[in-house]
């Protein structure tokens, strides 16, 4: 019994039950079903974890009443809340505005969920677990995500509500602004690894120094900078606080989602969480070593568990950020992207090129390599940060 | 072969519906559908990289440019006018469109076609493609880049209004 290959053995056992002509079909169907089930449940428990953690960060208890239908005494700390929420969303009335473009109004939530799920196809969840092995996997990931912008436009325009449309345009401006730093932060990884395949990138981060220090990309100067830019862009791409101004439920009555209710509204949130999970999974794959164990002696834990632990870590970090930071204004948001993140990401591209050209520096030159690479990131960061905040920080707050 | 026919039907259907629709937003979205169909065709032909690049650039970026252009220039009026401005313009439009169609049909008829040989893995890996683009085809890539930059500058010059 080998835990590492257990999922594959299970899959092969099930596939072998079918006649040979159908086996390829069952193989793929099984993969799709497993991804939908695992990440559907992951989404459900992300929502409850988010509500509980946010509640704790705000000194509240959070949802703790939902139990099991036949055992009213058993409360289970309220972890069945997402299922109650799902039933609530399904049974709610679905209101479509009379003037709405009915087809586009209906298509938008369907498309956004469908496209947000596509990204999972190329994430290597374990040493042997990757749904589809593509040579150009990274390009596929971003191509699949590109259509979510169209769905947001459809939602805003199809609602036939000027506030929805304005909010959709703002959301698109944000998505387009942050797509650039997101993709630019990924390019150094491609340059250093020399491949677009997510499987090869995860495999390239194997090995340890002294058996303890992992060779993950985040532990190099260029990788650290790229990872931070990636994190910020991920927050913005998935409309998470502090970049949640497309929805801004306290100010904008949920922006382009104003005219959506019931399950369609829930679908948009589902897509948002799927997008966040997929991007976090990509971040884990590119910078946090994918399925690799952090220390050599920890390899007895199966690789897919390591991937999930890192994924949960990323999600918890995003919830923590949401509970800590304040929402930005739209001008601050676009300024951060175009004047700060994009130039830094471009410089980091050069940094990645430098790292890719100097793998054979040995002895004292290794120190020089690290120092030069760190300087390429830190010096512009300090200079740019000082210049952009000149006259704006530190702020003085006065009571009215 | 059935897959190819389905893809061709999707592209042609979406493109003709885009032309016939009098609602500009619907036309733009149907056009995106046609571009997605072209990406599917590249995928069918075994050109993975080109297919994903097509989806990323056309479905993701160019569609946004088209939609923003429609919304920002027509100020809410999304119905396309059916009638032409003048006879002269109509005649020139037909001449240009016919010329383009002639060149395209000539090129398609002139190129040798063999039956499609389905290959499970793309014949050219992404790495080889990248080396080719950065090596022997680098001048072409640079020229295309300069051309697009010039087009962008031209668009800004045309769109920018002189103040004062």
- Mean of pLDDT values over A239-244: 82
Task: Read off the pLDDT band of A234 (50, 70, 90).
Answer: very high
Distance in Å, alpha carbon of B76 to nearest chain A alpha carbon: 10
Instruction: Say how many C-beta atoms besides its own lie within 10 A of residue A70's C-beta.
Output: 6
A23 and A75 co-located in one domain? yes
Domain end (from A91, A116, A138)? A91
A26 in a structural domain: yes
Q: Which residue of A has its CA nearest to B35?
A: A147
**What are the structure tokens assigned to A324, written together?**
């800590």
B95 and B162 co-located in one domain? no
Distance in Å, alpha carbon of B56 to nearest chain A alpha carbon: 4
A257 and A364 co-located in one domain? yes
Whole-number pLDDT of residue B163: 58
Task: Read off the pLDDT band of B123 (50, 70, 90).
Answer: low
- pTM assigned to the model: 0.85
User: Residue B9: exposed, middle, or buried by beta-carbon count in 10 A (0-12, 13-18, 19+)?
Assistant: exposed
- Please answer whether residues B116 and B4 qualify as being in contact, where contact means their C-beta atoms are separated by less than 8 angstroms: yes
Task: Read off the pLDDT band of B34 (50, 70, 90).
Answer: very high
A51 and A105 co-located in one domain? no
How many domains does chain B divide into? 3
Write out chain A residues lying below 8 Å of B59, CB-based: 143, 146-147, 150
Can you tell me the distance from the alpha carbon of A90 to that of A266, in angstroms, rounded to the nearest whole number?
9
**What are the structure tokens assigned to A325, written together?**
């930071």
User: Residue A8, preceding bond cis, omega within 30 degrees?
Assistant: no
Buried-state track A239-255, b at ≥16 Cβ within 10 A, e below 16: bbbbbbbbbbeeebebb
Least reliable range by pLDDT among A49-58, B22-31, B106-115: B106-115
Write out chain B residues lying below 8 Å of A179, CB-based: 60
Q: Which residue of A has its CA nearest to B55?
A: A143
Number of H helices, E strands in chain A: 13, 2
User: Rounded to the nearest 5 degrees, what angle is found at the Cα of A233, between the Cα atoms of B57 and A347?
Assistant: 85
Whole-number pLDDT of residue A281: 92
Phi, psi (deg, nearest 5) at residue A133:
-95, 110
Pick from B25, B56, B71: which is nearest to A139 by CB? B56
Count Cα atoms within 13 angstroms, Cβ side, for A145. 27
B117 in a structural domain: no
B53 and B18 co-located in one domain? yes
Name which of B155, B18, B25 is nearest B77 in CA terms: B25
Most confident of A142-151, A275-284, A288-297: A275-284
B69 and B97 co-located in one domain? no
Q: In sequence order, which residues have a C-beta less than 8 Å from that of residue A14 and are 6 or more positions away?
A: A26, A30
Asked if A153 lies within 8 A of B125 by C-beta distance, the reply is no
With residue A149 as reference, give the H or E element that holds it. helix A137-158
B70 and B139 co-located in one domain? no
Can you tell me the distance from the alpha carbon of B12 to that of B5, in angstroms, rounded to the nearest whole number?
10
A262 and A313 co-located in one domain? yes
A121 and A56 co-located in one domain? no
Name which of A316, A271, A306 is nearest A129 in CA terms: A306
Name which of A331, A323, A289 is nearest A306 in CA terms: A289
Domain end (from A68, A91, A114)? A91
How many domains does chain A divide into? 2
Asked if A143 lies within 8 A of B67 by C-beta distance, the reply is no
B118 in a structural domain: no
A127 and A146 co-located in one domain? yes
Asked if A136 lies within 8 A of B32 by C-beta distance, the reply is no
Whole-number pLDDT of residue B122: 54
Q: What is the pLDDT of residues A103-126, one digit of tens each?
A: 888 888 998 998 888 889 888 888
Task: Between A191 and A73, name the one with better pLDDT.
Answer: A191
Asked if B122 lies within 8 A of A142 by C-beta distance, the reply is no
User: Could you tell me how many residues make up chain A?
Assistant: 400
Task: Read off the pLDDT band of B118 (50, 70, 90).
Answer: low
Q: Which residue of B has its CA nearest to A108?
A: B29
Write out chain B residues lying below 8 Å of A194, CB-based: 127
Residue span of the structural domain in which B29 resides: 1-82
Pick from B25, B60, B127: which is nearest to A143 by CB? B60
Whole-number pLDDT of residue B81: 67
A247 in a structural domain: yes
Asked if A140 lies within 8 A of B59 by C-beta distance, the reply is no
B25 and B44 co-located in one domain? yes
- The whole-chain average pLDDT of chain A stands at 85
**What residues does B79 pair with on adjacent strands?**
B23
A147 and A36 co-located in one domain? no
Can you tell me the distance from the alpha carbon of A399 to that of A134, in angstroms, rounded to the nearest whole number?
58
A399 in a structural domain: no
Whole-number pLDDT of residue B97: 93
Mapping DSSP to helix (H, G, I), strand (E, B) and coil, where does residue A309 land? helix
Domain end (from A34, A68, A91)? A91
B58 in a structural domain: yes
Can you tell me the distance from the alpha carbon of B10 to that of B31, in angstroms, rounded to the nearest whole number?
11
Can you tell me the distance from the alpha carbon of B29 to that of A147, in angstroms, rounded to the nearest whole number?
11
Whole-number pLDDT of residue B75: 60
A13 in a structural domain: yes
pLDDT above 60 for B120: no
Q: Widest CA span of chain A, in angstroms?
A: 77
Asked if B55 lies within 8 A of A146 by C-beta distance, the reply is yes
Instruction: Say how many C-beta atoms besides its own lie within 10 A of residue A12's C-beta.
Output: 13
B153 and B104 co-located in one domain? no
Q: Which residue of A has its CA nearest to B63?
A: A150
CATH of the domain at B41: 1.20.120.1200
Distance in Å, alpha carbon of A93 to nearest chain B alpha carbon: 28
A128 in a structural domain: yes
**What are the structure tokens assigned to A319, written together?**
């919830």
How many CB pairs (< 8 A) connect A and B? 61
Percent of chain B with pLDDT over 90: 18
pLDDT above 90 for A163: no
Residue span of the structural domain in which A70 resides: 1-91
B25 and B64 co-located in one domain? yes
Per-window interface: A 155-174 vs B, CB < 8 A = 157, 165, 169, 172
Distance in Å, alpha carbon of A195 to nearest chain B alpha carbon: 7
Q: Which residue of B has its CA nearest to A170?
A: B68
**Long-range contacts of the stretch A31-40 (C-beta < 8 A, 24+):** A31/A131, A32/A131, A35/A117, A35/A120, A35/A121, A35/A131, A36/A117, A39/A117, A39/A120, A39/A274, A39/A277
A16 touches chain B (CB under 8 A): no
Q: What is the pLDDT of residues A142-157, one digit of tens each?
A: 888 888 888 888 888 8
Q: What is the pLDDT of residues A248-264, one digit of tens each?
A: 767 777 778 888 888 88
Can you tell me the distance from the alpha carbon of A209 to that of A225, in angstroms, rounded to the nearest whole number?
21
Chain B residues contacting A, CB < 8 Å?
A: 25, 29, 32, 39, 48-49, 52-53, 55-56, 59-61, 63-64, 67-68, 71, 121-122, 125-127
B52 in a structural domain: yes
Q: What is the pLDDT of residues B41-93, one digit of tens each?
A: 888 887 888 888 888 888 888 888 888 877 777 665 666 666 777 888 889 88
Asked if B48 lies within 8 A of A142 by C-beta distance, the reply is no
B91 and B73 co-located in one domain? no
Whole-number pLDDT of residue A64: 81
Name which of B78, B7, B40 is nearest A104 in CA terms: B78
């Amino acid at each position: 019994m080998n835990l590492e290959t257990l999922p594959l053995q299970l899959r092969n056992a099930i596939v072998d039950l079918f006649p040979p002509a159908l086996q390829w079909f069952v193989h793929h169907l099984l993969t799709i079903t497993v991804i939908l089930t695992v990440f559907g449940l992951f989404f459900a428990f992300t929502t409850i974890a988010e509500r509980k953690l946010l509640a704790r960060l705000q000194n509240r208890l959070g949802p703790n009443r939902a139990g099991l239908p036949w055992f009213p005494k058993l409360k289970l700390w309220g972890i069945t809340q997402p299922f109650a929420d799902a039933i609530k969303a399904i049974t709610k009335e679905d209101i479509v505005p009379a003037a709405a473009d009915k087809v586009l109004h209906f298509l938008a939530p369907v498309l956004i969920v469908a496209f947000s799920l596509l990204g999972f196809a190329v994430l290597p969840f374990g040493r042997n677990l990757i749904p589809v092995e593509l040579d150009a996997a990274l390009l596929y990931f971003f191509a699949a995500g590109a259509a979510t912008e169209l769905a947001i436009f459809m939602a805003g325009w199809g609602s036939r509500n000027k506030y929805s449309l304005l909010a959709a345009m703002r959301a698109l401006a944000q998505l387009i602004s942050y797509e650039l730093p997101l993709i630019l932060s990924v390019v150094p990884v491609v340059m250093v690894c020399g491949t677009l395949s997510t499987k090869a990138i995860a495999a390239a981060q194997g090995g340890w120094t002294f058996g303890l220090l992992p060779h993950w990309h985040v532990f190099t100067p260029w990788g650290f900078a790229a990872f931070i830019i990636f994190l910020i862009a991920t927050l913005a791409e998935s409309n998470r606080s502090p970049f949640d101004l497309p929805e801004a439920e306290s100010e904008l009555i949920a922006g382009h989602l104003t005219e959506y209710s019931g399950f369609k509204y829930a679908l948009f949130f589902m897509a948002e969480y799927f997008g966040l999970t997929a991007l976090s999974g990509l971040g884990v794959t590119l910078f946090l070593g994918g399925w690799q164990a952090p220390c050599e002696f920890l390899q007895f834990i199966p690789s897919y568990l390591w991937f999930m632990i890192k994924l949960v870590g990323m999600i918890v970090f995003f919830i923590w950020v949401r509970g800590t930071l304040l929402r930005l204004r739209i001008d601050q948001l676009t300024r951060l992207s175009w004047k700060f993140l994009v130039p830094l990401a471009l410089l980091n591209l050069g940094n990645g090129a430098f790292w890719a050209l100097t793998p054979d520096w040995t002895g004292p030159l290794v120190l020089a390599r690290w120092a030069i690479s760190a300087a390429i990131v830190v010096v512009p960061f300090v200079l740019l940060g000082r210049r952009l905040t000149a006259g704006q920080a530190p702020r003085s707050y006065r009571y009215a | 072969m059935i897959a190819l026919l389905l893809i061709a039907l999707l592209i042609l259907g979406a493109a003709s519906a885009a032309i016939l629709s009098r609602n500009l937003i619907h036309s733009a979205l149907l056009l995106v559908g046609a571009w997605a169909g072209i990406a599917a065709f590249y995928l069918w032909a075994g050109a993975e990289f080109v297919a994903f690049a097509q989806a990323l650039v056309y479905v993701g970026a160019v569609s946004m440019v088209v939609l923003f252009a429609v919304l920002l220039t027509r100020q809410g009026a999304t119905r396309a006018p059916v009638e032409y401005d003048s006879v002269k313009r109509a005649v020139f439009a037909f001449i240009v469109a016919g010329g383009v169609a002639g060149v395209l049909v000539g090129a398609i008829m002139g190129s040798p076609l063999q039956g499609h040989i389905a290959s499970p893995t793309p014949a050219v890996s992404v790495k080889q493609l990248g080396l080719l683009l950065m090596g022997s085809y680098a001048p072409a890539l640079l020229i295309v880049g300069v051309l697009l930059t010039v087009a962008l500058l031209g668009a800004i010059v045309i769109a920018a209004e002189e103040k004062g």
